C-alpha cells in the first residue's frame, strides 16, 4: 500500500489523545506488521483553544465533524466524543458517506446499535467497536470471531473498574461505601460525578453489547435488571465473607429456556473460590462459557488511555484490511437462535437477604412465614451479635426463587412490625 490511509479523529479527550499518541509512537510497527501506513488528516474537537497534554499539528484541528466526512482522503473515522446524540448523527453521516467507522462509545451502541448496524449493512460499511467493552481486553473479537463456532451458555463479567475498586477497598479495609468512593475520586479512578459507574449503567451498556453480539439480537435496555453498588454496606461485605462469598458488581448473561436469555447487572455474591472473586482494584475480567470451548477467562485493565487506545489500534488494523478487501460482516450479524430477554420477574436465582430486626422471640418464624407464603425456602441463617440496643442483624441465604416473587416477599417482610429497616436484597451467583 503506497499511499497512507487517511484517518479522521472525532474527539481528542483522554482516549482520543491516547490513540494519536500511540499511533504516532507505533506507526512504523503497524506498517511493518500490516503493510499499511496511516495518517491522521483531521481531528474534530469542541474547543480549539483548549490546552492539551498531547500535541498535534494545529492545522489539522477543526470544530466541525463534517470536515472529517467531506474529506475524500479520509477513509476511516474514529468516534471518541462521548455522549449519544451528537455521536449518533456523526456515525450515521459517516456510514452514509462510505467511511469505515471505529467507535468506543458503549452508550451509543447499547442505545442505538440496531439502527447503526442496519445502516452499516445497507451501505456495506463495517463498524468496529472493540474499545466499547472492557478497555484493553479484546472481548468483542473473541465473542464475534474466535468463538463463532460456539453456542454461548453464559458470560459473566466485572465490567466497571471504578465499582470494582470501591468494593475491593471496602473488602480489604472494612470501610463503608462513602469513604471508599471519596478515595476512588481522589485517586482519579472515579469521576467527580460517578453516577454511571456506581449506579450500574456503565457496566450495563457493556453487557447489552456483549449479550446482543453473543445471542444475535439487540436488547432493549429497559428489559434488563440494573442495580448499583450505592446501598452495599461494610456489614454486607463482612457477612458475605463469613458465608464464603465476595461481593462484586457482576454482569450476568445466560441462555435461558426456549429462545430467551437472562441479563442482569447488579451487586452479586460470588463464591470466593471462583476466579472472578479474586479480581481486585480497577481491573476487569470476563468469564465466557461456550458449548465447544468450555470455560474461559479474560483479564486486564478495563479503562484508561493506553488500554483503551490499544483496542482502537487493533480495530484500526482490521479497518485497514477492510479498506483493501470488502467484508461480508459489518460488525454485527443477527440470527434467530434467540430472540427475547427473559422478564426480570421470572429470572431465578439464589439470594442474600439482610434484615435489622427487633431482639425478641418469634422474629425468625414471622420472616420464614412470609417467605413460605411466597413458596420460597431458606438455605441458611446467621444472626451475629449486635452492638445496637433492641436491634439485631439477621442474614438469610435464600433458595432459588423467581426475582418477582422474592421482591414481593421482601416487601412483605419490610412491613412486619419486627423489622426495623429496609431489607438488603442481593443476588447470589453459583455459576452452575
Which residues carry out catalysis?
Answer: 206
Ramachandran bin of 355, using left for φ above 0, alpha for ψ from -120 to 50, beta for the remaining angles: beta
Residue 172: partners with Cβ closer than 8 Å, 6 or more residues away: 280
121-147 burial, b at 16+ Cβ within 10 Å, e below that, comes to bebebbbbbbbbbbbbbbbbbbbbeeb
- DSSP three-state, residue 12: coil
Q: Do 23 and 12 touch, CB atoms closer than 8 A?
A: no
User: What number of helices (H) and strands (E) belong to the chain?
Assistant: 13, 17
Q: Do 13 and 79 touch, CB atoms closer than 8 A?
A: no
d(CA 79, CA 94): 10
- DSSP three-state, residue 426: strand
Nearest to 81 by CA among 46, 120, 114, 128: 46
Residue 432: partners with Cβ closer than 8 Å, 6 or more residues away: none
DSSP of 331-382, one letter per residue?
A: S----SS--EEPPGGG-EEEEEEEEEEESSTTHHHHHHHHHHHTT--EEEEE
Amino acid at each position: 500500500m503506497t499511499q497512507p490511509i487517511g484517518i479522521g479523529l472525532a474527539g481528542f479527550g483522554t482516549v482520543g489523545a491516547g490513540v494519536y499518541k500511540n499511533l504516532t509512537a507505533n506507526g512504523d510497527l503497524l506498517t511493518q506488521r500490516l503493510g499499511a501506513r496511516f495518517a491522521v488528516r483531521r481531528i474534530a474537537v469542541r474547543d480549539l483553544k483548549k490546552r492539551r497534554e498531547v500535541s498535534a499539528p494545529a492545522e489539522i484541528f477543526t470544530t466541525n465533524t463534517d470536515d472529517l466526512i467531506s474529506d475524500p482522503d479520509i477513509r476511516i473515522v474514529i468516534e471518541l466524543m462521548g455522549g449519544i446524540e451528537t455521536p449518533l448523527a456523526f456515525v450515521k453521516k459517516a456510514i452514509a458517506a462510505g467511511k469505515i467507522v471505529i467507535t468506543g462509545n458503549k452508550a451509543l451502541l447499547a442505545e442505538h446499535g440496531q439502527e447503526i448496524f442496519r445502516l452499516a449493512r445497507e451501505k456495506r460499511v463495517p463498524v468496529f467497536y472493540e474499545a466499547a467493552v472492557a478497555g484493553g481486553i479484546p472481548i468483542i473479537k473473541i465473542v464475534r470471531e474466535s468463538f463463532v463456532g460456539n453456542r454461548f451458555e453464559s458470560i459473566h463479567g466485572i465490567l466497571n473498574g471504578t465499582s470494582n475498586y470501591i468494593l475491593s477497598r471496602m473488602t480489604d479495609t472494612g470501610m463503608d461505601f462513602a469513604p471508599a468512593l471519596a478515595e476512588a475520586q481522589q485517586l482519579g479512578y472515579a469521576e467527580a460525578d460517578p453516577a454511571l459507574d456506581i449506579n450500574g449503567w456503565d457496566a450495563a451498556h457493556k453487557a447489552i453489547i456483549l449479550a446482543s453480539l453473543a445471542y444475535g439480537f439487540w436488547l432493549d435496555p429497559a428489559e434488563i435488571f440494573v442495580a448499583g453498588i450505592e446501598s452495599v454496606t461494610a456489614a454486607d461485605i463482612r457477612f458475605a465473607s463469613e458465608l464464603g462469598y465476595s461481593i462484586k458488581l457482576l454482569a450476568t448473561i445466560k441462555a435461558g429456556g426456549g429462545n430467551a436469555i437472562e441479563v442482569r447487572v447488579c451487586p452479586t455474591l460470588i463464591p470466593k473460590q471462583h476466579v472472578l472473586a479474586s479480581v481486585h482494584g480497577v481491573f476487569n475480567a470476563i468469564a465466557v462459557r461456550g458449548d465447544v470451548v468450555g470455560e474461559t477467562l479474560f483479564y486486564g485493565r478495563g479503562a484508561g488511555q493506553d488500554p483503551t487506545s490499544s483496542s482502537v489500534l487493533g480495530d484500526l488494523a482490521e479497518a485497514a484490511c477492510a479498506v483493501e478487501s470488502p467484508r461480508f460482516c459489518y460488525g454485527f450479524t443477527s440470527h434467530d437462535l434467540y430472540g427475547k430477554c427473559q422478564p426480570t420477574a421470572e429470572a431465578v436465582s439464589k439470594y442474600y437477604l439482610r434484615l435489622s430486626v427487633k431482639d425478641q422471640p418469634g422474629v425468625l418464624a414471622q420472616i420464614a412465614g412470609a417467605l413460605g407464603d411466597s413458596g420460597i425456602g431458606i438455605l441458611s441463617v446467621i444472626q451475629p451479635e449486635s452492638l445496637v440496643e433492641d436491634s439485631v442483624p439477621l442474614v438469610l441465604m435464600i433458595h432459588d426463587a423467581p426475582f418477582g416473587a422474592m421482591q414481593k416477599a421482601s416487601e412483605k417482610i419490610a412491613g412486619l412490625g419486627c423489622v426495623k429497616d429496609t431489607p438488603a436484597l442481593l443476588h447470589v451467583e453459583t455459576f452452575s
